[in-house]
A and B are shown apart, each in its own frame.
Chain A
């Protein structure tokens, strides 16, 4: 397997394989929590902390943890780091904690985190996993913050709580609800696809290390 450079891993995590806009993972908390930019930023940073810590620990322990208990161990470690993130956000940024609600503890079973744990951390070095966790976390944070900012602007006329469009543009509370979130997410993905020239048949950019790569029709150089 060809090793990717750190820059390549960073670029993939944040841009070309962005978990929210390209891989379409972690959409449930995105729709529920990212109703304003600060909530999206808070949840994203908590996810980054968990992804980064798990990257280091799981890749360091990949030869220690027997295959048969890999998933239970991953769950225990994920739950530990999520609980730590939960305590930190609750104690140090209570305003953000109130906005995120129960979705922070649910990060322990977030598909972004579990998918990374299964397909990347158990197959790569500690340094690569740490960079990858950071990149995917920052990509997820950027996605959640952008989604939250757009919904907050259209739905409330504010950005990070500051009145920007209040009184200028009529507020549309629909965008603060899940259907409005789905609409905004779809439009952002469409715009990004248009800008990057990506189509439905384009590879997701993460073929190496992907268990489904052999049979994937979107794989670089694969069946079409």
Chain B
């Protein structure tokens, strides 16, 4: 059976419109739950980065260092948690970094490695790599530098390793900026 071109075009267009509307409805209906699930996941990551904190408050007036998305202060002032991102292999890698009030890294949680090749770049999210940062006050990629903790890249995943390294460096920089401004403000008072 041969159909007229106009009929075919109209049918196709109508199906596309109906499918788009249906998808929009499903998306709108699931959006609140998706947002809540994303927030719960982010809270879990913050708790993993700064264990022992009972809650976090967004520091809204913080002057953000380049590469830092957000800064959260732990309830009871036990430290800060920063969400940082840096370019990986195909897209940005997102990392959550916890730093206590002594300036030591308490945890690094890589929350988005979706742009990395499975089994290669994705290995930067494993504890074998992230545990290297634990307790460090300063980090370096130079094994000959005695002033900072040496971080060894994941083999065959240089771009992903560099991205996480940048995220943690920026988080440390952000912490110094925050603690400096706090000292200034407390000194002023």
Contacts and interface: CB of A to CB of B under 8 A. Distances in A.
* A and B physically associate: yes
Interface of A: 61, 64-69, 72-73, 76-77, 79-80, 83-84, 87-88, 90-92, 94, 101
Interface stretch (B20-28, B65-73, B131-139, B177-185): B20-28
A69 B11 contact: yes
8 contacts: A66-B11, A68-B2, A76-B12, A80-B22, A87-B34, A88-B26, A88-B30, A90-B34
Decide if the interface of chain B is mainly helix, strand, loop or mixed: helix
Contacts, number: 55
A87 B27 contact: yes
A67 B3 contact: yes
Pick the most buried of B2, B12, B15: most chain A CB atoms within 10 A of its CB: B15
B63 to A, nearest CB: 34
Given A69-B8, A80-B19, A94 B37 contact: yes
Interface of B: 1-4, 7-9, 11-12, 15-16, 19, 22-23, 26-27, 30, 33-34, 37, 41, 118
Given A66-B11, A83-B23, 19 more contacts: A64-B11, A65-B11, A67-B2, A68-B2, A68-B8, A69-B3, A69-B8, A69-B11, A76-B15, A77-B19, A79-B19, A80-B22, A84-B22, A87-B26, A87-B34, A90-B34, A91-B34, A91-B37, A94-B41
A92 B32 CA distance: 12
B26 A66 contact: no
